[in-house]
Chains A and B, each alone.
Chain A
Amino acid sequence: MSGNRRRRLDASSLAGFWVGADRHTMSVEAIDVTQRDGVCVLRVAGGDIAGPRDWGEVEASTHAADVDGTVAIGATARYDFGFLDTTLTCFAKSGIVILCTFNYWKDGSARADYFTREFLYRRLREGGRDGAAGNVSGGISRGLDRPAGPTAVVSATDRGTVPLSRSAAGEKRTVPVIDTASITGRFRSCDRETPGFLELTVAGEARHLEITLRAASRPASHFGQRGDVLAIRGTAFGESVHGGPAAGFLAESQSSFQRLVLAAYLNKGLLAIDTFATFSDGSGRSAYRSRDHFYRVAVLG
């Protein structure tokens, strides 16, 4: 994901060393956020049994609370580990960062694409710490990546040495299925006054979701002309590498005037969608993040 070079936002509100509130996490243990020459840089440490793994530095796209905002309240970034693409979406609220990761396998290993959501608080106001001692290697970026699950005991000497793209016998493994029934259907905004999307339809299978969104017929809508319909392809993510019911989806689009990232997750029937919009039309509008909630009004036949 390219950096936000058009209108740089003040990322000092995000800067610092953020640590997971769950100190035993096998997901993201910490994020170091720094602002260098107006660019927001993240350095993530993935949690693992024998200690955190350094994911390295990546440039983030920052997002304000609205199109007139000058202060970053959220960010998106992507790590390409070769075997895995991890998209991060986050926003700050009440002293915490709420972080989602969308993890998309590229190595043919028997692991389902998965989603996480976690909460981090700011331990240190200044970022710029050194990376974690461990590295991303052997098809593992963090404990959750292991097919055996986070409770498996793997010795430090085993870490990063076992290729996961094929079984010991060399045959290709079957990738666990993500059941998209939980996230497919027609959804309507809980907020009838929303300036965002009024309705969306989600159809298709795990890596081939088709998402159709109808923008609100309101002057404040930034998603195109009033009542516009927007079609985006997306990917469903389960709760773990073992597959099962879809927990969320990620969808991205690039139009003539804006780039959209839709990061969605399901919570007790409520579909929460974070929209990260970046404008490329020279209008001077800030990239921004917004949140909408949807309830399902119809299951697709």
Chain B
Amino acid sequence: MDADDSGEDVPPGVPDVPPRRANVPAEENADAAAEENPQPAAESRPAAERPGDDPAAHPGADPRPANRAQRDSARGTRVRAALTAGPPPGPARPEFWRSPLRGPWLTSVFGLILLIGIPVMFVTGLLSYAAYNPDLAPINDQTPNKGWLGFYLFSWPTDPSWLYRLTQGVHVTLGVVLVPVLLAKLWSVIPKLFSWPPVRNAAHALERLSLLLLVGGALFEFVTGLLNIELHYIFPGSFYTLHFYGAWVFIGAFVVHIAFRIPVMTRSLRSRRLRTELRTSVSETRPEPADDSGLVSPRPAAATMSRRGALGAVGLGSLVLFAVTAGQSIGGSLRRTALLAPHGQEPGPGPNGFQINKTAASVGIRAADIGANWRLVVRGPSGEHTFTREQLLLLPQHSAALPIACVEGWSTSDQHWSGVRLRDLAAMAGYREDPPEVFVDSAERGGSFSSTVLRANQVRDSRSLLALHVNGVDLSPDHGYPARVIVPDNPGVHNTKWVTSLTFGATA
């Protein structure tokens, strides 16, 4: 722990360092995260102390900058100098990066977490796209030019009714929770961005291009996702287009990265025991053995944070993000724990005091649209039928306990809806058996979801309602008064509010 112990437990590959804590000034305790400033104490160390300085130990590693080599190259042409003399001063030099924590093991730990987390996000993202039933009607499809990228689409089920709540809650909450892991992963490999020479050969060039797609794609997805759930629409286009195609650009590079790196990752993870690392204090923390990964600093500063500390800090970041976010997807009394999430508060008291995706005012609903003159038009083979709200209330009323779940990740627990079954309305429209899909139109002005098409399986489900009441009272204007659609397991925006017409058997 103290001066006497510092030479113990040096990992293989790191030359034994004589005890120096006793006589080296305290400044040597440089920062784990801050490498830029050269440390005088470290500069004065003998060359043999720097684990990275033996080129023989690094087959294929970048050439080290040697003073003589630099002087020689100064006499040659500038181009030749740039190519042969090694990296220019600055971040392209491996010794610029001084954190003793950087190394393949730490990178692999973060990599493993992302290797598990990102496929979950990708799959839940694809499921969310399928949940919109985009193949049913152009109006349901926010990315109509998808081509083969919709190859996997299927009829979104209505059972279990909480499925979309779960998949989309996981998608968004996991995305938020993975932010610190992603940042830590990028921090751990930053020397690679500046690796010298910038391009070694054709394979290296392609790989770097692939990494641009990987890193750019990952952050593009995280940033657009986070901005969208916060309703901060500053990105350059429709969220659906950017997030969906961005995901496909990213995932190819992700698969390639996994294929290339999984052997290294496996080897690195086996090189150290997590349990041992979690017991290693700061003063016992040593760099990982020098290798050709380009991650281990050849001139490491003394650790000011252990690997346990670094993993703990990242884990704490994830935990705190989870704590201030997850409540908006869990709902109930836990909602108020989501202190920073967009839907962490209730809009008000009473039976209608549950989450609103878009208020009546925000989509241009006026009092006249939903007043006494409101009518519902139901169309089908038997012709056109017009109902007032009072007439609808005279039809057989059914009830269902169903949640609202939004693409933004928040959701509500089950609300108790009652109204007319969609399949009963289909029967009136002329479909006595096997009702087909239905085109739903609303009084909304503009907006992407002022009309939608529900699939036959959704219409047939006996819990699918044109709801008139919720939790025992009339719907509030913000929840779709006079009548709204509620379908089990349907994305929130497809539970159309302020419905004005239902056209059975039509998709437009």
Partners in one complex: no
Residues of chain A at the chain B interface (Cβ within 8 Å): none
